[in-house]
Amino acid sequence: MAILEPSSVLRRSPLNRRHLQSHGLFKKIGENLLVEYYGNEDRTFEEYKQAQFLAICDLCTLPRIGFKGAGALAWLKSQNITLPELPNTAVQQNNAGLAAKLSEQEVLILSDIFALNQDVNNLSTKADIEHQDCDQKTYVLPRGDSHCWLAVTGMKAAEMFSKICAVDLRAHKFSAGSVAQTSVAKTNAVVIRNDLGSIPCFYILSDISGTEFLWDCLLDAMAEYKGYPVGINALHRLITEK
């Protein structure tokens, strides 16, 4: 199998050095690289089992974009994006992407974790063409440049978050599709619950300049439960294996 190097692509994760130090092996997802697994291929099943209990995965190189303004919601609907009715909720698209309404004038669009859908790229291209006219009242937010994207999975995830997040993320309080704009480890963050199969999954998006700090804080909070980083293969298996 060919060894893929992060330096071979234009976009690298802010956590690239951490992954290399942990012997991460990379996989091309769409046009970007993510850690496939750490160490050697024999660990892939172990990481899959760990993701069911408590794990963290770096999704920083996957596509994401935001839109804000008085006309943002109407414009997104015209692009066939399904939007939640209420702020601080998210809804999955037919192609497995995610749209999260952060307010009545702001929406965050995330790729699916297989990077199969092209919503983010298509919306970005359309916005460049159509939003030169200020009458659109819609502004692009380059969330791929401004916000990191981490995923915390597992049955112990909500319990772990109770140590570093003021919001109660247990299922009966924070169900699938819920969004919280809150503090995680004293860092402003957007937390989205988007379960993978039957396993709880929380997406965390925060200022990209603090990615390493947030990663370390999450690992520290997970240490009590022996949680650790896993590659994207583990998350894919949560969806594809029942």
pLDDT-wise least confident of 17-31, 134-148, 206-220? 134-148
User: Domain 64-144 sits in which CATH superfamily?
Assistant: Aminomethyltransferase beta-barrel domains (3.30.70.1400)
How confident is the model at residue 136, as a pLDDT? 66
> What's the burial of 54, exposed, middle or buried (CB within 10 Å: 0-12/13-18/19+)?
buried
- What are the pLDDT digits (tens) for 83-104? 999 999 999 999 899 999 999 9
Task: State pTM to two decimals.
Answer: 0.94
- What are the pLDDT digits (tens) for 112-136? 999 988 899 899 888 877 765 556 6
- What are the pLDDT digits (tens) for 13-66? 999 999 999 999 999 888 889 999 999 888 999 999 999 999 999 999 999 999
How confident is the model at residue 241, as a pLDDT? 81
Provide the CB-side half-sphere exposure for 219 (13 A, CA): 12
Distance between terminal CA atoms of the chain?
28
Q: For the chain, give every domain's residue range.
A: 64-144
Give the confidence band of 1 by pLDDT, cuts at 50, 70, 90.
very low
How confident is the model at residue 41, as a pLDDT? 86
Q: How far is CA 208 from CA 36, 142, 145, 213, in A?
A: 22, 12, 7, 10
Beta bridge partners of 106: 68, 103
How confident is the model at residue 3, as a pLDDT? 58
How confident is the model at residue 30, as a pLDDT? 81
